[in-house]
Chains A and B, each alone.
Chain A
Amino acid sequence: MAVETEPDEGHVAAVAVRTPAGARRERVLVVALTVALAALVVVPLLSTDQAQSAGLPEVVDRYAFRVATIVAMFVVISAAWNLIGGLAGYPAFGNVVYFGIGAYAVAVLVTRYHWSFAGGLVGAVIVPAAFAGLIGIPLLRLRGHYFAVASLGVAVAVGEVINNLDYFGGASGIFMPIVRSDLLFYYLMLGAALLAVAITWVVLRSRFGYGLIAIREDESAAAVMGVNTTLYKIAAYALSAALTGLAGGIYAQWNVFVNQDVAFNIDVSIDSILMALLGGIGTIWGPVLGAVVLEFLIQTFAGRGDLAVVTQIGLGLLLTVAVIFLPRGVVDFFGGRSSLGLTYVKRTLRESGV
């Protein structure tokens, strides 16, 4: 096994050590991502009326915009989950509750208190974070199954309560003033996605990130080394809530309508975890890759009636298969840390199964 001569300072290795082949693969990935990012920013501008009247080709149509916006949204949600579930090792299953709180924050602030959308977005970040900070205190004392189900319980309970209260529009939900601009929401979500990735990158390199990973690997050892585990867990949870809330806030205005089904949909939580899983839990690019691939799949096969149901079955199968054969996700492979072959799969089965 090749050993690096001078390892990156502050770069946390996932499992094994990078091989020269893996380092090359990683360089290719970085270049590809940079090109992709440039395209993501520039290409949609070609669809504006100004560009069109100047005779520039329209590379993407409105439908593609919407898909891209949703993909970006899931990048945010998945990356946010990654902070508490992937880095800290506390897999919250109900993070969609912060999506919902952020969505309703925007909806209520704009329609009831006549705030601007921008002001509403500030609320969409702060309110979920505050809520997470508060509820995290008892919640993060739980471990394993208890934590996962309790966090799920928070999501269904809050959704139910909001559905029953007139202040939030009850079951009929809240209608927002219409803002017609696919471009605006695309760039907003893209910005949020970039922010989420950037935050993950910064955290992984910081003392905070090391503390979280230490907590994940062995919480009592971390405590004894001086990591303030309670504070760090709550901080990670609040941060993931803030990001998820931002996505929810943007979505609320984009969708123009919020109610319990729209805002507190558990499938959003599960999908985002599946995305992180497929891409690679605890890595920077895992949630991005997973979100892009999975959401494209979902949008491609989305339909009405029976097709929607079959898509869900497909998703369930994908989830099952991914958990069995690919628990560490695909990014593992890109970092050269393992090779996605039969041996890898066999070893995974042997380690995890009975």
Chain B
Amino acid sequence: MNWGEQIVLGLLLGGVYVAVGLGFSLVWGVLNIVNLAYGAMVMVGGYLTWLLFVHGGIDPFVGLPIDVVVLFGIGYALQYVVINRVVRAPFLYTFLITFGLDLIIVNALLLVFKPDFRSVTTWYSGAAFAVGPVLVPYIRLWSLLAAWALAAVMWWILNRTRTGDAIQAVGADRDAAQLVGISLRRTYALTFGLGAACAGVAGALIATFQAITPTAGEPYTLQAFVVVILGGLGRVSATVVGGMMFGLVEVLAQSAPHLGAGYQNAIAFGVLVLVLLLRPQGLLGRTL
């Protein structure tokens, strides 16, 4: 087994997990909502990218902004109209409602796109360049860069804009934020929309190297959860670390002797257990 290659691949895969983790972490950290429909939203992003590519000839990376806008809109609407109605109820209810949304979204995708696998194959899909003995596929490298760019944008939004201030205020103290005039309804919707936009980007990136089908998003929800716990809830930097690490772990674990691609969920769960037992606040999190 080529260690170097595994590590490089792991880091490249980590980029995807960074994108996957960012949206999930934001919604969880600010709204205290664990979004069980997250994997489905990722797939929506993937299908959107596929549509743009197959019917519009738009390169998946070029189409990212469209992904962002559309998914943001969907997320904003969902939060404003539906999820906002239960945010102050016990968490069981937000859990159930996001699962309901997951059912709706996945099955709507099934209805429209059928369960066939779709892929996005660009002219450069197979191209790679060599770094020593390791072959680095261009697509994976650009995905990684796109993910980091997304992280940078998210960090900038959250820490350098007034919107970000409002979001962080609401996340820190909902009642105090209301007292200073921040609209909870709109801020929540904004936050969820941003989370959905991240999911859309993640989906676009995934579509470039993996065949997609409506149910393929399912493992990503659990993985997003683990990425956030691994890195630590609440900060973009923590999610970046968590995502990269998780990519590494996944690649290395899957190349271990008895495991393989069929153990995706089991590996994610194993990491979850380890983190919760050994360092529950995550790698970068503050001590609870």
Q: Give A contacts to B, CB under 8 Å.
A: 85, 91, 93, 138, 142, 144-146, 148-150, 152-154, 156-157, 159-161, 163-164, 270, 273-274, 277, 306, 309-310, 312-313, 315-320, 323-324, 327, 349, 351-354
Contact = CB atoms under 8 A, between A and B. Distances in A.
8 closest A-B pairs by CB = A316-B103, A319-B100, A352-B89, A316-B104, A157-B269, A153-B269, A320-B100, A156-B265
A138 B277 contact: yes
B276 to A, nearest CB: 7
A277 B111 contact: no
Contacts of A324: 82, 85-86, 97
Contacts of A149: 34, 222, 225, 272
A306 B104 CA distance: 13
A287 to B, nearest CB: 15
Contacts of A317: 100, 104
B89 A354 contact: no
27 contacts: A146-B229, A148-B92, A149-B272, A150-B272, A150-B273, A153-B268, A154-B269, A156-B222, A157-B269, A160-B262, A164-B260, A164-B263, A270-B96, A313-B104, A313-B111, A315-B100, A315-B103, A316-B107, A317-B100, A317-B104, A323-B93, A327-B93, A351-B89, A352-B89, A353-B84, A354-B84, A354-B188
Nearest to B178: A354
Contacts of A146: 229, 276
A324 B262 CA distance: 37
Given A316-B107, A354-B84, A157 B96 contact: no
Contact of A327 (B89, B269, B276): B89
Contacts of B265: 153, 156-157, 159-160
A306 B111 CA distance: 7
Contacts of B222: 149, 152-153, 156
Contacts of A160: 262-266
B108 interface: yes
Given A145-B34, A274-B96, A318-B100, 5 more contacts: A145-B28, A148-B95, A157-B269, A161-B266, A319-B103
A311 B84 CA distance: 25
A354 B177 CA distance: 13
Given A148-B95, A160-B264, A306-B111, A351 B82 contact: no
Contacts of B91: 144-145, 148
Contacts of B92: 85, 91, 148
B184 interface: yes
Contacts of B106: 312
B96 A309 contact: no
Interface string B34-46: 1000000000000
A91 B106 CA distance: 24
B143 to A, nearest CB: 25
B127 to A, nearest CB: 34
Nearest to B277: A138
Given A160-B262, A160-B265, A351 B97 contact: no
Contacts of A164: 260, 262-263
B110 interface: yes
A160 to B, nearest CB: 5
Contacts of A161: 263, 266
Contacts of A323: 86, 89, 93, 96-97, 100
Nearest to B280: A146
Interface string B76-95: 00000010111111011101
A318 B101 CA distance: 10
Nearest to B28: A145
Contact of B88 (A85, A138, A313, A354): A354
B13 to A, nearest CB: 19
Nearest to A143: B91
Contacts of A309: 107, 110-111
Contacts of A354: 84, 87-88, 184-185, 188
B272 A153 contact: yes
B270 A157 contact: yes
Nearest to A270: B99
Nearest to A267: B103
Nearest to A352: B89
Contact of A353 (B87, B229, B270, B276): B87
Contacts of A306: 111
B183 to A, nearest CB: 10
Nearest to B184: A354
B250 interface: no
Contacts of A93: 95
Contact of B276 (A85, A142, A319): A142
Contacts of B266: 156-157, 160-161
Contact of A349 (B85, B110, B225): B85
Nearest to A316: B103
A63 B82 CA distance: 38
